Amino acid sequence: MAVFIVSHNLQVISTQVPAISADELALALKNECEGFMSISSLSHPHWSLRMESELDANQMAESLLKAWQKMRLNLGHEFSHTVMALGGRKDENANPNSPLQIGNWGVDVVETLDADAFLRSINWDALKSGRPADAVFERLLKAS
């Protein structure tokens, strides 16, 4: 079983792509995510959702991105941007008050107009180069 602890990083500034609360995200994604056992909102300054699935992390990330796009469209929002799932497995001791615990995946869902520029701005290549290949993933879904 994989557990995602998800944050939402909305880089698109548009009334057509509004911010969504953690509770709204959980409710909307429950209707769209295939293969997820549970989705719940979190009350945390950084993390928004806890998601559990029998899928492996890569399959779960792909399903999450497809569901995110469906969610935006079903809510009547525009989807002319890219949504990314950037994930890293927590392999070291965690803060006991954090929802992200050892073995869980911290996943940043980023909505952006320029994925390459965003990845450069956070120095993503350097961040992932310091991790084992099986402890990090990057998935993108571009508007069609």
Contact 10, 19 (CB under 8 A): yes
Mean pLDDT, the chain, integer = 95
Domain that holds residue 92: 2-142
Q: What is the pLDDT of residue 130?
A: 86
pLDDT (mean) for 20-41: 93
What confidence category does residue 51 fall into, taking pLDDT thresholds of 50, 70 and 90? Answer: very high
11-15 CB contacts, 8 Å cutoff, 24+ apart: 11/110, 11/111, 11/112, 11/113, 11/118, 12/81, 12/111, 12/112, 12/113, 14/78
Identity of residue 17: V
Contact 130, 74 (CB under 8 A): no
Contact 63, 35 (CB under 8 A): yes
pLDDT (mean) for 58-83: 96
pTM of the full structure:
0.95
Is the pLDDT at 144 greater than 80, yes or no? no
Question: How many distinct structural domains can be found in the chain?
Answer: 1
